[in-house]
């Protein structure tokens, strides 16, 4: 699993683009980014993301084509683990309680049912 590393807002935007597209050139990333980033800035950020282990590239002719180095699922797990350790002392219970207890956490009955199913499944798997 990729080591959890803090990403800047722009780095997160670039990663979102790469996950959405699957792969992209620097020009394609630049075209999808909000604002008016320069070509050299985008290329530098892609290189930094590659150094951090989040992005890889393949050479296709004279172009570099960038892609996420890990699956979105793996990145989510790593980010969630980092969040849990940083803000909730590593406690899944405290993390879930924060998600369920917030004012903006108005979950539908269907969402609560799916969460209950996940809990029941985790109990079954833990009992094995």
In this structure, the answer to whether residues 79 and 50 fall within a common structural domain is yes
What is the mean predicted confidence (pLDDT) over 106-115? 86
In this structure, the answer to whether residues 43 and 104 fall within a common structural domain is no
In this structure, the answer to whether residues 82 and 97 fall within a common structural domain is no
Percent of the chain with pLDDT over 90: 57
DSSP annotation string for the chain: -PPP----HHHHHHHHHHHHHSSEEHHHHHHHSSS---HHHHHHHHHHHHHTTSEEEEEETTEEEEEESS-HHHHHHHHHHHHHHHHSTT-HHHHHHHHHHSTT----HHHHHHHHHHHHHHHHHHH-
pLDDT on residue 1: 42
In this structure, the answer to whether residues 59 and 41 fall within a common structural domain is yes
Measured at the CA of 68, the angle between CA 46 and CA 25, to 5 degrees, comes to 50
- pLDDT confidence of 14, banded at 50, 70, 90? very high
Given a cut of 80, whether residue 5 has pLDDT beyond it is: no
Q: How many domains does the chain have?
A: 2
Report yes or no: 30 and 37 within 8 Å, Cβ to Cβ.
yes
In this structure, the answer to whether residues 121 and 108 fall within a common structural domain is yes
- Please give the residue that has the higher pLDDT: either 101 or 124: 124
Supply the range of the domain harboring residue 119: 90-127
- pLDDT confidence of 105, banded at 50, 70, 90? low
In this structure, the answer to whether residues 35 and 8 fall within a common structural domain is yes
In this structure, the answer to whether residues 70 and 95 fall within a common structural domain is no
pLDDT on residue 74: 86
* CA 42 and chain centroid, separation: 19
In this structure, the answer to whether residues 58 and 34 fall within a common structural domain is yes
Q: pLDDT for 18-75, tens place per residue?
A: 999 999 999 999 999 999 899 999 999 999 999 999 999 999 999 999 999 988 888 8
Percent of the chain with pLDDT over 70: 91
In this structure, the answer to whether residues 116 and 80 fall within a common structural domain is no
In this structure, the answer to whether residues 8 and 65 fall within a common structural domain is yes
Q: What is the pTM of this model?
A: 0.69
């Amino acid at each position: 699993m990729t080591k959890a590393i803090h990403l800047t807002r722009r780095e997160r935007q670039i990663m979102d683009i790469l996950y959405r597209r699957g792969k992209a050139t620097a020009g394609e990333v630049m075209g999808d980014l909000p604002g008016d980033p320069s070509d050299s800035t985008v290329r530098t950020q892609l290189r930094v993301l590659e150094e951090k282990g989040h992005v890889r590239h393949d050479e296709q002719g004279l172009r570099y084509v960038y892609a996420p180095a890990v699956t979105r699922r793996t990145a989510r797990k790593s980010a969630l683990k980092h969040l849990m350790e940083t803000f909730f002392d590593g406690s899944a219970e405290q993390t879930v309680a924060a998600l369920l207890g917030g004012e903006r956490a108005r979950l539908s009955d269907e969402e609560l049912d799916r969460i209950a199913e996940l809990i029941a499944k985790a109990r079954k798997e833990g009992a094995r």
